[in-house]
Structure 1
Amino acid sequence: MIKEIKLTSEYITLGQFLKKESIISSGGQAKWYLQDNPVLLNGIKENRRGKKLRPGDKLEVNQETYELR
């Protein structure tokens, strides 16, 4: 099942996304989370917490798929 996420701005960073979706509890945890957990952005492993996510991007985190709108 794909969860659709509506963006309210031009982009959101990967760290902000993880916090918004309650995958991590604070922005400071993003670096450590991304070191220990695979995150796929459009099918490619991504570990930069500042990576800009834009509408149309697909993320796979914790066996969940998210599509940004």
Structure 2
Amino acid sequence: MSQINLVEITTEYIELNKFLKFENLVESGGHAKLVIADGQVRLNGKVVVQTRRKVRDGDIVTLAGEQYQIVVVEK
């Protein structure tokens, strides 16, 4: 596995589909739904198929072999 990329957010959580768009990992919201439904996304090591699953501080999202850890920061 590659190193973990830290992703800072300023809210308590971000929905998984919005996270994928925010990080430019998908082309659109529709594309986000497809890759999630296809089982290509893992949250903390487990396949997740809930498009709007809440991703919180410390969670690790994996897509295409790349890992992204969520870090909540103050505004």
* Same fold flag (TM > 0.5): yes
Q: Is the 8 A contact 2:38 2:49 kept in 1?
A: no
Please state which structure has a larger fraction of its residues in strand: 2
Decide which moves more: 19-28 or 58-67: 19-28
- What is the aligned partner in structure 2 of residue 24 from structure 1? 26
Unaligned runs of 5+ in 2: none
Percent of residue pairs bearing the same amino acid type: 38
Q: Which protein has the larger Cα radius of gyration, Structure 1 or Structure 2?
A: 2
- What is the aligned partner in structure 2 of residue 42 from structure 1? 44
Deviations 1:27-61 (A, max 9, x none): 12221122335211011101111000000101111
TM-score, normalised on structure 1?
0.89
Question: 1:5-16 to 2 correspondence within 5 Å?
Answer: 5-16=7-18
Aligned equivalents of 2:44, 2:38: Cα separation in 1: 19
TM-score, normalised on structure 2?
0.83
Unaligned runs of 5+ in 1: none
